[in-house]
Amino acid sequence: MAFSRITGTALAAGLAVTLGLGAASAETLRLSHNTGDTTTWHQGAERFAELIAERTDDAITVRVFPNAQLSGGDQMRQAEMVGRGALDLVVTSAINVTPLVPEMAVFSLPYLYGNYDEVDATTQGAPGEMLSEILLDRGIVVLAWGENGFREVTNNTREIRSPEDMRGLNMRVAGPMYIDVMNELGANPQQMQWGETMSALQQGVVDGQENPIGAVIIPQQVYEVQDYLTAWHYSYDPIFLGISKEKWDSYDAETQATLRETAQEAMAYQREITRQGTAEGIDFLREKGMQVYEPTAEELAAFREATQPAFDKWAERVGPEIVGAFQDAIVATK
Protein backbone atom coordinates (compact mmCIF):
# COMPACT_ATOMS: atom_id res chain seq x y z
CA MET A 1 0.00 0.00 0.00
CA ALA A 2 2.67 2.48 1.16
CA PHE A 3 4.71 1.56 -1.89
CA SER A 4 1.97 2.42 -4.33
CA ARG A 5 1.24 5.75 -2.62
CA ILE A 6 4.87 6.80 -3.04
CA THR A 7 4.83 5.65 -6.64
CA GLY A 8 1.66 7.65 -7.23
CA THR A 9 3.20 10.84 -5.78
CA ALA A 10 6.35 10.42 -7.85
CA LEU A 11 4.26 9.87 -10.96
CA ALA A 12 2.23 13.02 -10.31
CA ALA A 13 5.41 15.05 -9.79
CA GLY A 14 6.87 13.62 -12.97
CA LEU A 15 3.73 14.51 -14.88
CA ALA A 16 3.78 18.10 -13.57
CA VAL A 17 7.36 18.50 -14.81
CA THR A 18 6.53 16.99 -18.19
CA LEU A 19 3.54 19.29 -18.65
CA GLY A 20 5.50 22.34 -17.50
CA LEU A 21 3.20 22.96 -14.56
CA GLY A 22 5.93 24.36 -12.30
CA ALA A 23 5.11 27.53 -10.33
CA ALA A 24 7.30 29.79 -12.50
CA SER A 25 6.23 28.09 -15.77
CA ALA A 26 9.90 27.96 -16.70
CA GLU A 27 10.94 26.91 -20.17
CA THR A 28 14.23 25.70 -21.57
CA LEU A 29 15.16 26.78 -25.07
CA ARG A 30 17.57 24.76 -27.17
CA LEU A 31 20.41 26.61 -28.87
CA SER A 32 22.32 24.87 -31.65
CA HIS A 33 25.70 25.88 -33.06
CA ASN A 34 28.12 24.10 -35.34
CA THR A 35 31.56 24.35 -33.74
CA GLY A 36 33.09 22.64 -30.71
CA ASP A 37 32.60 23.63 -27.08
CA THR A 38 36.03 25.35 -26.89
CA THR A 39 35.26 28.06 -29.47
CA THR A 40 34.25 31.69 -29.03
CA TRP A 41 30.92 30.77 -30.66
CA HIS A 42 30.28 28.50 -27.69
CA GLN A 43 31.49 31.09 -25.18
CA GLY A 44 29.17 33.70 -26.69
CA ALA A 45 26.23 31.28 -26.59
CA GLU A 46 26.98 30.35 -22.97
CA ARG A 47 27.21 34.01 -22.01
CA PHE A 48 23.74 34.54 -23.53
CA ALA A 49 22.42 31.54 -21.59
CA GLU A 50 23.85 32.80 -18.29
CA LEU A 51 22.53 36.34 -18.70
CA ILE A 52 19.07 35.35 -19.90
CA ALA A 53 18.52 33.01 -16.95
CA GLU A 54 19.64 35.77 -14.58
CA ARG A 55 17.44 38.44 -16.17
CA THR A 56 14.28 36.35 -16.38
CA ASP A 57 14.69 34.76 -12.93
CA ASP A 58 15.05 31.40 -14.64
CA ALA A 59 11.73 31.76 -16.47
CA ILE A 60 13.80 31.28 -19.65
CA THR A 61 16.83 29.05 -19.56
CA VAL A 62 18.93 28.14 -22.57
CA ARG A 63 20.76 24.89 -23.18
CA VAL A 64 23.64 25.12 -25.65
CA PHE A 65 24.28 22.18 -28.00
CA PRO A 66 27.63 22.34 -29.91
CA ASN A 67 28.80 20.46 -33.03
CA ALA A 68 25.48 20.74 -34.89
CA GLN A 69 24.31 17.70 -32.93
CA LEU A 70 20.65 18.79 -33.04
CA SER A 71 20.70 18.76 -36.84
CA GLY A 72 22.41 15.38 -37.13
CA GLY A 73 25.82 16.99 -37.73
CA ASP A 74 24.54 18.97 -40.74
CA GLN A 75 25.65 22.55 -40.17
CA MET A 76 23.64 23.93 -43.08
CA ARG A 77 20.36 22.48 -41.79
CA GLN A 78 20.29 24.44 -38.54
CA ALA A 79 18.99 27.68 -40.08
CA GLU A 80 16.23 25.88 -41.94
CA MET A 81 15.20 24.09 -38.71
CA VAL A 82 15.04 27.36 -36.78
CA GLY A 83 13.04 28.85 -39.64
CA ARG A 84 10.29 26.27 -39.25
CA GLY A 85 10.39 26.27 -35.46
CA ALA A 86 12.06 22.87 -35.04
CA LEU A 87 14.90 24.59 -33.16
CA ASP A 88 14.51 27.58 -30.84
CA LEU A 89 17.87 29.31 -31.17
CA VAL A 90 20.90 29.14 -33.42
CA VAL A 91 24.41 30.55 -33.57
CA THR A 92 25.80 30.03 -37.03
CA SER A 93 27.88 31.82 -39.62
CA ALA A 94 26.72 33.47 -42.84
CA ILE A 95 28.22 30.91 -45.20
CA ASN A 96 26.08 28.16 -43.61
CA VAL A 97 22.91 30.01 -44.52
CA THR A 98 23.72 30.67 -48.19
CA PRO A 99 21.95 27.48 -49.41
CA LEU A 100 18.74 28.82 -47.79
CA VAL A 101 19.38 32.55 -48.34
CA PRO A 102 21.93 33.21 -51.14
CA GLU A 103 22.02 36.92 -50.22
CA MET A 104 23.94 35.95 -47.05
CA ALA A 105 26.98 35.49 -49.29
CA VAL A 106 27.40 39.26 -49.39
CA PHE A 107 29.45 39.31 -46.18
CA SER A 108 31.94 36.77 -47.48
CA LEU A 109 32.54 38.17 -50.97
CA PRO A 110 36.31 37.84 -51.53
CA TYR A 111 38.20 40.90 -50.30
CA LEU A 112 35.04 42.94 -49.68
CA TYR A 113 36.44 44.24 -46.37
CA GLY A 114 39.86 45.65 -45.53
CA ASN A 115 39.51 45.95 -41.76
CA TYR A 116 37.22 45.64 -38.71
CA ASP A 117 35.87 49.21 -38.97
CA GLU A 118 34.48 48.33 -42.38
CA VAL A 119 33.02 45.10 -41.01
CA ASP A 120 31.33 46.88 -38.11
CA ALA A 121 29.89 49.55 -40.40
CA THR A 122 27.89 46.77 -42.09
CA THR A 123 27.14 44.07 -39.51
CA GLN A 124 26.30 46.60 -36.79
CA GLY A 125 24.50 49.01 -39.13
CA ALA A 126 21.79 49.36 -41.76
CA PRO A 127 23.35 46.88 -44.27
CA GLY A 128 23.15 44.10 -41.67
CA GLU A 129 19.49 45.03 -41.12
CA MET A 130 18.79 44.32 -44.78
CA LEU A 131 19.89 40.73 -44.25
CA SER A 132 18.00 40.47 -40.96
CA GLU A 133 14.84 41.39 -42.87
CA ILE A 134 15.40 38.67 -45.44
CA LEU A 135 16.02 36.12 -42.67
CA LEU A 136 12.81 37.24 -40.97
CA ASP A 137 10.92 36.25 -44.13
CA ARG A 138 12.41 32.77 -43.64
CA GLY A 139 11.18 32.57 -40.05
CA ILE A 140 14.43 33.59 -38.32
CA VAL A 141 14.67 36.65 -36.07
CA VAL A 142 18.30 37.86 -35.91
CA LEU A 143 18.92 39.10 -32.36
CA ALA A 144 22.56 40.11 -32.81
CA TRP A 145 25.57 39.75 -35.11
CA GLY A 146 28.81 38.27 -33.81
CA GLU A 147 32.06 37.22 -35.43
CA ASN A 148 33.63 34.15 -36.94
CA GLY A 149 36.22 36.39 -38.57
CA PHE A 150 38.58 36.78 -41.49
CA ARG A 151 39.17 33.31 -42.87
CA GLU A 152 42.84 32.31 -43.29
CA VAL A 153 44.15 29.40 -45.31
CA THR A 154 46.09 26.47 -43.82
CA ASN A 155 47.58 23.38 -45.43
CA ASN A 156 50.14 20.64 -45.06
CA THR A 157 51.83 20.81 -48.43
CA ARG A 158 53.58 24.17 -48.89
CA GLU A 159 53.72 27.81 -47.92
CA ILE A 160 51.13 29.83 -49.86
CA ARG A 161 52.44 33.18 -51.15
CA SER A 162 50.66 33.49 -54.48
CA PRO A 163 47.53 32.21 -56.24
CA GLU A 164 49.78 29.75 -58.12
CA ASP A 165 50.72 28.11 -54.83
CA MET A 166 47.09 27.02 -54.38
CA ARG A 167 47.13 24.94 -57.58
CA GLY A 168 46.27 21.31 -57.12
CA LEU A 169 45.71 21.48 -53.37
CA ASN A 170 42.76 19.47 -52.05
CA MET A 171 40.87 21.98 -49.94
CA ARG A 172 38.03 21.41 -47.53
CA VAL A 173 35.52 24.26 -47.79
CA ALA A 174 32.44 25.13 -45.76
CA GLY A 175 30.01 26.34 -48.39
CA PRO A 176 29.11 26.93 -52.02
CA MET A 177 30.74 30.33 -52.56
CA TYR A 178 34.12 29.02 -51.42
CA ILE A 179 33.90 26.24 -54.00
CA ASP A 180 33.94 28.88 -56.72
CA VAL A 181 36.76 30.83 -55.05
CA MET A 182 38.93 27.72 -54.73
CA ASN A 183 38.24 26.75 -58.32
CA GLU A 184 39.40 30.21 -59.47
CA LEU A 185 42.64 29.55 -57.60
CA GLY A 186 43.12 26.18 -59.27
CA ALA A 187 42.62 24.19 -56.04
CA ASN A 188 40.34 21.14 -55.73
CA PRO A 189 37.58 22.16 -53.31
CA GLN A 190 35.45 19.67 -51.38
CA GLN A 191 32.47 20.77 -49.31
CA MET A 192 32.57 19.04 -45.95
CA GLN A 193 30.98 19.40 -42.52
CA TRP A 194 33.21 21.12 -39.99
CA GLY A 195 32.60 18.15 -37.70
CA GLU A 196 34.37 15.88 -40.20
CA THR A 197 37.19 18.23 -41.13
CA MET A 198 39.74 17.64 -38.37
CA SER A 199 39.93 13.91 -39.04
CA ALA A 200 39.98 14.52 -42.82
CA LEU A 201 43.01 16.80 -42.31
CA GLN A 202 44.66 14.35 -39.97
CA GLN A 203 44.23 11.46 -42.38
CA GLY A 204 45.29 13.49 -45.40
CA VAL A 205 41.91 13.14 -47.12
CA VAL A 206 42.36 16.87 -47.80
CA ASP A 207 45.55 18.98 -47.72
CA GLY A 208 44.07 22.12 -46.25
CA GLN A 209 41.16 24.22 -45.10
CA GLU A 210 40.35 27.85 -44.30
CA ASN A 211 38.94 29.29 -41.08
CA PRO A 212 39.35 32.28 -38.77
CA ILE A 213 42.23 32.23 -36.27
CA GLY A 214 40.61 33.43 -33.05
CA ALA A 215 37.20 31.81 -33.36
CA VAL A 216 38.14 28.41 -34.79
CA ILE A 217 41.79 27.63 -35.71
CA ILE A 218 43.16 28.13 -32.20
CA PRO A 219 40.28 26.87 -30.02
CA GLN A 220 39.80 23.80 -32.23
CA GLN A 221 43.57 23.16 -32.36
CA VAL A 222 43.83 23.09 -36.13
CA TYR A 223 47.57 23.83 -35.63
CA GLU A 224 47.97 20.26 -34.39
CA VAL A 225 47.17 18.89 -37.86
CA GLN A 226 48.36 21.69 -40.20
CA ASP A 227 51.88 23.02 -40.89
CA TYR A 228 51.32 26.22 -42.92
CA LEU A 229 49.06 29.22 -42.49
CA THR A 230 48.82 32.26 -44.75
CA ALA A 231 46.99 35.29 -43.34
CA TRP A 232 45.42 36.27 -46.65
CA HIS A 233 42.18 37.70 -45.09
CA TYR A 234 40.31 36.62 -48.23
CA SER A 235 36.81 36.38 -46.84
CA TYR A 236 35.02 37.64 -43.77
CA ASP A 237 32.41 35.49 -42.05
CA PRO A 238 30.02 36.90 -39.43
CA ILE A 239 27.94 34.79 -37.09
CA PHE A 240 24.52 35.67 -35.75
CA LEU A 241 22.38 34.66 -32.80
CA GLY A 242 18.89 33.97 -34.11
CA ILE A 243 15.59 32.77 -32.67
CA SER A 244 12.71 31.10 -34.46
CA LYS A 245 9.97 33.59 -35.35
CA GLU A 246 7.40 31.19 -33.98
CA LYS A 247 9.05 31.28 -30.55
CA TRP A 248 9.65 35.04 -30.76
CA ASP A 249 6.00 35.75 -31.46
CA SER A 250 5.01 33.86 -28.31
CA TYR A 251 6.67 36.52 -26.09
CA ASP A 252 5.42 39.89 -24.90
CA ALA A 253 7.30 43.08 -25.84
CA GLU A 254 9.19 43.22 -22.56
CA THR A 255 10.54 39.66 -22.90
CA GLN A 256 11.45 40.37 -26.51
CA ALA A 257 13.41 43.46 -25.44
CA THR A 258 15.25 41.44 -22.79
CA LEU A 259 16.13 38.74 -25.32
CA ARG A 260 17.40 41.27 -27.85
CA GLU A 261 19.47 43.33 -25.39
CA THR A 262 20.96 40.22 -23.87
CA ALA A 263 21.86 38.79 -27.27
CA GLN A 264 23.50 42.10 -28.24
CA GLU A 265 25.58 42.05 -25.09
CA ALA A 266 26.57 38.39 -25.47
CA MET A 267 27.60 38.88 -29.11
CA ALA A 268 29.55 42.08 -28.26
CA TYR A 269 31.48 39.97 -25.76
CA GLN A 270 31.89 37.24 -28.36
CA ARG A 271 33.30 39.71 -30.92
CA GLU A 272 35.69 41.11 -28.35
CA ILE A 273 37.18 37.76 -27.31
CA THR A 274 37.36 36.67 -30.94
CA ARG A 275 39.34 39.77 -31.94
CA GLN A 276 41.60 39.42 -28.94
CA GLY A 277 42.29 35.76 -29.75
CA THR A 278 43.00 36.70 -33.37
CA ALA A 279 45.36 39.55 -32.43
CA GLU A 280 47.43 37.26 -30.20
CA GLY A 281 46.95 34.32 -32.53
CA ILE A 282 49.82 34.58 -35.01
CA ASP A 283 52.48 34.54 -32.28
CA PHE A 284 50.70 31.68 -30.57
CA LEU A 285 50.57 29.63 -33.78
CA ARG A 286 54.28 30.22 -34.42
CA GLU A 287 55.04 29.04 -30.88
CA LYS A 288 53.05 25.91 -31.68
CA GLY A 289 55.33 25.29 -34.65
CA MET A 290 53.20 26.52 -37.53
CA GLN A 291 54.88 28.34 -40.42
CA VAL A 292 52.83 31.54 -40.62
CA TYR A 293 53.14 33.76 -43.67
CA GLU A 294 51.80 37.32 -43.76
CA PRO A 295 51.48 38.45 -47.39
CA THR A 296 52.59 41.91 -48.58
CA ALA A 297 50.06 44.39 -50.00
CA GLU A 298 51.18 43.37 -53.48
CA GLU A 299 50.67 39.69 -52.79
CA LEU A 300 47.21 40.39 -51.35
CA ALA A 301 46.34 42.31 -54.52
CA ALA A 302 47.24 39.20 -56.56
CA PHE A 303 44.85 37.05 -54.49
CA ARG A 304 42.16 39.69 -54.86
CA GLU A 305 42.57 39.76 -58.61
CA ALA A 306 42.54 35.99 -58.92
CA THR A 307 39.29 35.71 -56.94
CA GLN A 308 37.50 38.56 -58.74
CA PRO A 309 35.41 36.24 -60.98
CA ALA A 310 33.94 34.57 -57.88
CA PHE A 311 33.21 38.01 -56.41
CA ASP A 312 31.39 39.04 -59.59
CA LYS A 313 29.39 35.83 -59.86
CA TRP A 314 28.21 35.94 -56.25
CA ALA A 315 27.65 39.71 -56.21
CA GLU A 316 25.21 39.13 -59.06
CA ARG A 317 23.47 36.40 -57.08
CA VAL A 318 23.21 38.66 -54.02
CA GLY A 319 21.92 41.54 -56.13
CA PRO A 320 23.18 45.10 -56.74
CA GLU A 321 20.97 46.74 -54.11
CA ILE A 322 22.49 44.79 -51.21
CA VAL A 323 26.06 44.75 -52.54
CA GLY A 324 25.81 48.51 -53.19
CA ALA A 325 24.58 49.19 -49.63
CA PHE A 326 27.55 47.25 -48.25
CA GLN A 327 30.06 48.98 -50.51
CA ASP A 328 28.64 52.43 -49.66
CA ALA A 329 28.89 51.75 -45.92
CA ILE A 330 32.48 50.57 -46.40
CA VAL A 331 33.48 53.65 -48.44
CA ALA A 332 31.91 55.88 -45.77
CA THR A 333 34.42 54.63 -43.17
CA LYS A 334 37.42 55.82 -45.21
Residues within the interface to ligand X2X (CB under 6 A): 34-35, 75, 93, 95-96, 148, 174, 194, 211, 216, 237
Phi-psi region of 319 (alpha: psi -120 to 50; beta: other; left: phi over 0): left
3-state SS record for 37-80: CCCHHHHHHHHHHHHHHHHCCCCEEEEEECCCHHHCCCCCHHHH
Cα 282 to chain centroid, rounded:
21
Min separation Cβ 334 and ligand X2X, Å: 28
Which residue lies nearer to ligand X2X by CB, 172 or 245?
A: 172
Report which residue's Cβ sits closest to ligand X2X.
194
Which residue lies nearer to ligand X2X by CB, 33 or 47?
A: 33
Cα 43 to chain centroid, rounded:
13
- Going by DSSP bridges, is the β-strand pair 228-244/208-212 parallel, antiparallel, or unpaired? unpaired
Which residue lies nearer to ligand X2X by CB, 34 or 40?
A: 34
Terminal CA-to-CA distance of the chain, rounded, Å?
81
Min separation Cβ 72 and ligand X2X, Å: 15
Residues 283 and 60: beta-carbon distance below 8 Å: no
Min separation Cβ 317 and ligand X2X, Å: 18
Which residue lies nearer to ligand X2X by CB, 75 or 170?
A: 75
Which residue lies nearer to ligand X2X by CB, 52 or 216?
A: 216
Min separation Cβ 208 and ligand X2X, Å: 12
Residues 148 and 215: beta-carbon distance below 8 Å: yes
Min separation Cβ 162 and ligand X2X, Å: 23
Which residue lies nearer to ligand X2X by CB, 194 or 303?
A: 194
Which residue lies nearer to ligand X2X by CB, 75 or 155?
A: 75
Which residue lies nearer to ligand X2X by CB, 62 or 192?
A: 192
Min separation Cβ 267 and ligand X2X, Å: 16
Residues 206 and 226: beta-carbon distance below 8 Å: no
Which DSSP letter does residue 217 get?
Answer: I
Of 201, 217, 303, 243, the closest CA to residue 79 belongs to: 243
Which residue lies nearer to ligand X2X by CB, 32 or 93?
A: 93
Min separation Cβ 215 and ligand X2X, Å: 7
Give the ranges where the chain is alpha helix by DSSP (H): 2-18, 40-55, 77-83, 94-97, 116-123, 126-137, 176-184, 194-202, 245-248, 253-279, 281-287, 297-306, 308-318, 320-331
Phi-psi region of 122 (alpha: psi -120 to 50; beta: other; left: phi over 0): alpha
Which DSSP letter does residue 142 get?
Answer: E
Min separation Cβ 220 and ligand X2X, Å: 8
Angle at 108 between CA 241 and CA 47, to 5 degrees: 20
* CA distance linking residue 12 with residue 17, whole number of Å: 9
Min separation Cβ 273 and ligand X2X, Å: 16
